[in-house]
Structure 1
Amino acid sequence: MATIAAPSIFHAELYPADSYTPEGTYWADLPFFRRLAFVTSVDREEAVAEAQKIRGRSVWANLKGYLRDHVLTGIGLGLEGYVLFSIGNLAALFESVWPSCWKTLKECPKQLIDSVTYLEVLGITVGQLLIGVLGDWIGRRFGLLLDAAIMLLGLILLTASWGTSLAGWVVSYAIALFIYGVGVGGEYPMTATLGMENAVGSGRVSSRSDRLHRGRKVTSAFLMQGWGQFLNQVILVVVLLITSGGRRAPDGERYSEAAAQWTFRISFALPAMGTAWLLYYRTSRMKSAGRQLSIAKSKARVTGYDTTSLRMTFSCFGPRVVATAGAWFCNDVFFYGNKLFQSKFISVINSEKDSVMQGWHYNLINVSVSMVGYYLASFLIDNKLYGRRKMQTVGFMLTFILFAIPAFNYKYFTSKVHITSFQAIYFLSSFFNQFGPNTVTFLVAAEVYPTPIRATAHGFSAAIGKIGALLVAVLYNYIGTQTIFKVVPWFALSGALITWIFLPDTTGLDLKEQERRWACIRAGRAEDYHGVAVHPHHLSLWERWHGVGRSYSPELDSQQKIEEMRKEWLEARRATARLEVGEELRREDGGKEDGFSTEISAYFETTEKSDMLISKSDSSLPTSGGSRDEP
């Protein structure tokens, strides 16, 4: 091939200004103070551009954009958060109204009451594994429709749960929760992959928005879970006040059974209507969901489930599986233990021990504090100087410290004199759990894996997490609150260690680079990839110990990218209208011919002609074995 130096027309393609200096140096290769200046400058420029964009649009246009980009993507998780975490809230009401079943256990066996929590967590685990696999196998849209349909069925059964006795009602309630849990479990991998793949897009080159805001786009959908919890608590308070005649139950007295019946059934009927709308919306408006998965399968020549990618993910990315699944397990010991048994925790910080309404008020404060953590995590998740790995590590460490403090001085902090200190500790632990592992685990469990098995990997990691939730669901029924504070901190410390050693930091990483690396790994040529996906900054400590970053070479990678672009240009030229990848490239790149700029296309056209002329010239020369004229 002719050795023609690559002109400056490739500079924007090879060195996007949000990740590289004008000289072509990657931001993570800069010394600390230059890196600080570069990252701050890019973030400031982006913040100004976003502020100008917001000011240039009407309030309605901004609200519509927020609803489209964040709320609609995460509405399934919002509905899930509403229902799933209402179980702990309703447990306090059920204990107050039907103590013979839910508290003294005279009419309902303890195993039956405990099974409500067990079946809920088990259903979530089944859904995460099953629908995660189906989402990669059949398609993203199928998974989205399936989990919405299952959630709707579960909510109908919860609203209508009944029995000829209290024990019979609890059985129907538990079965309905299991069915709903299956749908909830599927919502995790499908929402994460959908939010991420919508952010990344399916074109050849990732957008500036993806590199700078991918984490925010995904976590903005995830924080809808927090809004679901908040709305559930508000609605429970309002409905119970209405059904009880606008008054709180006096101390020592219970709310009526009719008020409790209306309250819990209305609280489930409302999200059922929302879920029915969600199913309609996904059926009619999300017909193109999973476009990036289809393109990835087409490039890999896979039609069904990509078992090769699954097998290679566990063999090549095993430490990443440890990071995402292990950290999620440790987090769910804290998070789900806190939520499923929140009535037990709230009773400790509640001065009115037997007041359902007072306990709900304290929980509303707790959820409000958590919401601040959700939003702060969303705002800082893409900051290259802090990012995913540091946020998760710091969050784990602070929850460890905050739970360890009262663990060994429990009577001091739970006394009336110091109860406000205990309340502050409990609320802060909720804040740092959201501004840390609970948000980050949801994001990275999809982000660190390749497209073909992203939903499966996310579902597997989440399912391992739910084993942690199931562990505490069993354990918390047999140990006291003080013992809980002695047990839980060590899981947080373990989560911090797992994160520090095994989790790669994908903050600021172009995920198309990860797909380029995966293509080399899948072809058995892992050492042929030289791009930023193997930059030491984007690798885990474990991967650096094992020399994964040795192949990083910006110079070789630039040459490789140009050759890859040349091949794609040639393929696009030869593609017919029926070739799906070619069609997607043209649509994604805004109608540019062959998906490339006019200058790059002209360059490839020129060099191709030059190569053809040289090839013809070489073929016309006599070989060493050819005839020659006699003198």
Structure 2
Amino acid sequence: MSSGNLAVLNALDNAKTQWYHVTAIVIAGMGFFTDAYDLFCISTVSKLLGRLYYFDPSTGKPGKLPHTVNNFVIGVALVGTLSGQLVFGYLGDKLGRKKVYGMTLIMMVICAICSGLSFGYSNKSVMVTLCFFRFWLGFGIGGDYPLSATIMSEYANKKTRGAFIAAVFAMQGVGIIFAGLVSMTVSKFFLKLYEGPTFHDNPVFSTEPEADYVWRIVLMIGALPAALTFYWRMKMPETGRYTAIIEGNAKQAATDMASVLEIEIQAEHDKLAQFKAANDYSLFSQEFFQRHGRHLIGTATTWFLLDIAFYSQNLTQKDIFPVMGLTDGDTWVSALTEMFQTSRAMFVIALFGTFPGYWFTVLFIDKIGRFKIQLVGFFMMSVFMLTIGIKYDYLKDKEHKWTFATLYGLTFFFANFGPNSTTFVLPAELFPTRVRSTCHAISAASGKAGAMVGAFGIQYLTIDEDVKSIRKAMLLLAFTNMLGFCFTFLLTETKGRSLEEISGEDGRVDHQTKTVEKMPVSHPESAWD
């Protein structure tokens, strides 16, 4: 490490892992737990909404959300998330990470409660109200992406930084599990109240009388973890890197960090001025483009391509869930039974496919490195999706259900022990402090754009749900993953290096000439480490 770096930054990079690091992971991670719960619980109740608000007695069949309405109900939060990422990411760099960090939780708490209280004079007005609050819920969720990643990266030491950031993101897997678990529990509770044959014999009476309470309860429970975390989030001091580098107050940075971490820091006012002068360029400057343009293109494109595939993985659910006995398929069941089965399927997939991948990343990211994990993840996702696409007729037969389940589960596993985790980690490490939150937000927003392509575009291509269209979609997704594999080569490995060394903020290397800048160092040979 070059001594051209500030003492407060060196102290943070070399601090031993201690209790406050764990506390910061929990505080930031609970935001992601809430994010995942709020985004994914809507999938467990969407069919119930169709049963409740779009039932036509003349058909004698259970109600179903129209395709356009279903897209709005499920997708409007993604639009809000994209918007919130850009807005809060920018504010995080301009106003400070802490000043806007609490705003995201407040929005999530209020909008989760209001989503469950969506009322109206007609079925249409209920859906409009729900979509309105789901948009602003997504807006708050979007802010958590750049802020949580940036805060965790700026608190962490360089040896375990990847694991810390990945652990925050891994709480998304826990949130998905709880979305399925809570939906299962609530629907099962109300099912126990209505076990008579009436609701299992006649489609006209297929929706249990109190089912309207069920989806509201499930959505409002999402406010609890965010509310419980708010106090501790407000107690966190501003990150030392932001206070020192952006606000120019090395003394306050040293005081703040010493109050939560067992480290001794000296304030260096003269060196701070020199440090700031060497990094005084904006996001839209030519210098930024020369130094970091390739990396921003890399983080944005890989996250975009990853989310196209990640949010399209439910294409085969209509076949794999019945084959595995998780749902009854085309067999008619009551509304709450259908919700219970859908939630159970989500829970099982998350527990055995999604969840392990997140925590494998936490365990190995600082050993294997981000770059290799992302490459392997994209490649393996492509292989498994290609196999599913080519052999779809063969796999959907009950005799081959375990092969189908294994391929399906491994696709989720390598998404999370792969680019779904690393695309979150890398933008928090590659860019300089003054634009770190904004660059993460741009990358994350590109991901949500990809999610919308997957959730709407790819889904539209398979609207007929026939084998041929699903096969073509899986082959297209395999190609998308290989593009992600290729674009990963725009990025660089970040493990074991300080944030300032990675971004060039410490003045060690001029990224235009690749020569060492003339900044005073006490150990010149260290500049070539």
> What TM-score range do you get, normalising by the shorter chain?
0.7 to 0.9
The one-letter amino acid of 1:490's match is F
CA distance in 1, matches of 2:201, 2:25: 43
Of residues 267-276 and 79-88 in structure 1, the stretch that sits farther from structure 2 once superposed is 267-276
Deviation at 1:295, TM superposition (A): 0.8
What does residue 326 of structure 1 align with? 301
CA distance in 2, matches of 1:133, 1:519: 25
Point out the more displaced range, 178-187 or 262-271: 262-271
Task: State how far apart, in whole Å, the 1-side matches of 2:317 and 2:123 are.
Answer: 21
Q: For 1:195 and 1:146, how far apart are their aligned partners in 2?
A: 18
Q: Aligned equivalents of 1:186 and 1:177: distance in 2?
A: 14
CA apart distance, 1:251: 8.3
Which of 119, 126, 145 is residue 188 of structure 1 equivalent to?
145
The DSSP-based 3-state class of the residue aligned with 2:515 is: helix
Deviation for aligned residue 1:365:
1.5
Residue number in structure 2 paired with 1:358: 341
* CA contact 2:383–2:478 (8 Å) conserved in 1: yes
| SS of equivalent residue, structure 2 residue 366 | coil
Out of 497, 515, 522, the position equivalent to 2:486 is: 497
Q: Secondary structure at the match of 2:72?
A: helix
Separation of aligned partners in 2, 1:489 and 1:316: 32
1:461-480 mapped onto 2 (5 Å cutoff)? 461-480=443-462
Q: CA shift at 1:414, angstroms?
A: 0.7
Match of 2:28 in 1: 73
Residue pair 2:312, 2:459 contacting (<8 A) in 1 also: no
Structure 1 unaligned residues grouped into runs of 5+: 1-8, 20-48, 54-63, 200-209, 532-553, 562-631
Equivalent-residue separation in structure 1 for 2:347 and 2:194 (angstroms): 19
Q: Does 1:134 align with 2:117?
A: no
Q: 1:261 to 1:106 in 2, by over 3 A?
A: closer
Q: 2:42 aligns with which of 87, 95, 110?
A: 87
Q: Deviation at 1:93?
A: 3.3
Distance in 2 separating the partners of 1:430 and 1:530: 48
Which amino acid is 2:483 matched to?
S
Contact persistence 1:243–1:262 (CA under 8 A): no
Asked if structure 1 preserves the Cα contact closer than 8 Å seen for 2:507 and 2:517, the reply is no
Q: 2:183 aligns with which of 236, 240, 260?
A: 236
Task: Please give the alpha-carbon distance, in whole angstroms, between the structure 2 residues aligned to 1:492 and 1:135.
Answer: 31
Structure 1 stretch 187-196 or stretch 256-265: which is displaced more?
Answer: 256-265
Gap runs ≥5 in structure 2: 249-271, 331-337
* 8 A contact 1:388–1:440 mirrored in 2: yes
Helix, strand or coil for the counterpart of 1:228?
helix
Amino-acid identity (%): 26
Instruction: Note if contact 2:242-2:433 (Cα within 8 Å) is conserved in structure 1.
Output: yes
Q: Residue deviations 1:415-461, cap 9 Å, x none?
A: 12222321221111111111111111100011111111110000000
Q: How far apart, in 2, do the equivalents of 1:530 and 1:472 lie?
A: 49
Distance 1:488 1:448 in 2: 27
- CA shift, 1:95, in A, is 4.2
TM-score, scaled relative to structure 1: 0.67
CA contact (8 A) 1:92 1:343 kept: no
2:350 is equivalent to residue 376 of structure 1: no
Q: Is the 8 A contact 1:445 1:457 kept in 2?
A: yes
By how many angstroms is 1:106 displaced?
A: 8.2
Q: Any idea what the Cα deviations from partners look like across 1:353-403, whole Å, max 9, x if unmatched? A: 1544333322211101211111111000000xx211110110111111111
Asked which structure has the greater RCO (Cα within 8 Å, sep 6+), the reply is: 2
Q: Who wins on radius of gyration, i.e. which is larger?
A: 1
> For 1:491 and 1:336, how far apart are their aligned partners in 2?
12
Q: 1:478-498 CA distances to partner (integer Å, 9 max, x unpaired)?
A: 222514322211111111111
- Is residue 216 of structure 1 aligned with residue 205 of structure 2? no
Deviations 1:601-623 (A, max 9, x none): xxxxxxxxxxxxxxxxxxxxxxx
Match of 2:207 among 247, 256, 265: 256
Conserved in 1, the CA contact under 8 Å of 2:27 and 2:232? no
Aligned-partner residue type, residue 228 of structure 1: G
Write out per-residue CA displacement over residues 280-336 of structure 1, whole angstroms, 9 at most, x where no aligned residue: 3323x12x2233112112246979x97625533333211111211111001111222
Report the Cα distance in structure 1 between the residues aligned to 2:342 and 2:65, rounded to whole angstroms.
24
Match of 2:244 in 1: 295
**SS state at 2:431 partner:** coil
- For 1:491 and 1:372, the matched residues in 2 are separated by 24
Residue type matched to 1:367 in 2? A
1:484 to 2:435 alignment:
no
When the two chains are superposed, the root-mean-square deviation of aligned CA atoms in Å is: 3.7
- Residue type matched to 2:243 in 1? S
- The reply on whether 1:396 has 2:385 as its aligned counterpart is no
Residue type matched to 1:296 in 2?
A: I
Aligned residues: 469
Query: Structure 1 residue 73: deviation in Å?
Result: 2.2
Query: d(CA) in 2 for partners of 1:518 and 1:250?
Result: 69
Change (3 A) 1:273 1:412: same
| 1:157 aligned residue (101, 114, 120) | 114
Q: In structure 2, how many angstroms separate the alpha carbons of the residues matched to 1:116 and 1:307?
A: 41
Deviates more, 1:478-487 or 1:413-422: 478-487
In the other structure, the counterpart of 1:440 is 422
Kept in 2: contact 1:192–1:446 (CA 8 A): yes
Task: Give the alignment of 1:188-207 within 5 angstroms.
Answer: 188-199=145-156
Match of residue 277 from structure 1: 228
- 1:236 and 1:67 mapped to 2: Cα distance? 29
Does 2:484 align with 1:509? Answer: no
Q: CA deviation at 1:153?
A: 2.5
- Verify the 8 A CA contact 1:227 1:371 in the aligned structure 2: yes
Does the residue aligned with 1:212 lie in a helix, a strand or coil? coil
The equivalent of 1:585 in structure 2 is none
> Secondary structure in 2 aligned to 1:317?
helix
SS at match of 1:372: helix
Specify the SS of the correspondent of 2:492: coil
Which residue of structure 2 aligns with residue 171 of structure 1? Answer: 128
Tell me the distance in 1 between the aligned counterparts of 2:21 and 2:516.
41
Q: Distance between the aligned counterparts of 1:367 and 1:293, measured in 2?
A: 36
Residues 587-598 of structure 1: pairs in structure 2 closer than 5 A = none
Write out per-residue CA displacement over residues 268-287 of structure 1, whole angstroms, 9 at most, x where no aligned residue.
2222132223333323x12x
CA shift for structure 1 position 183 = 0.6
Shift of 1:175: 1.2
CA contact (8 A) 1:113 1:170 kept: no
CA 1:166–1:293: 2 relative to 1, 3 Å: same
Displacement of 1:109: 5.2
Q: CA deviation at 1:92?
A: 3.6
Distance 1:218 1:343, change over 3 A: same
**Counterparts in 2 of 1:356 and 1:277: CA distance versus 1, 3 Å:** closer
Structure 2 residue 526 is matched with structure 1 residue 558: yes
Q: 1:325 to 1:197 in 2, by over 3 A?
A: same
What is the distance in 2 between the residues matched to 1:519 and 1:558?
Answer: 12
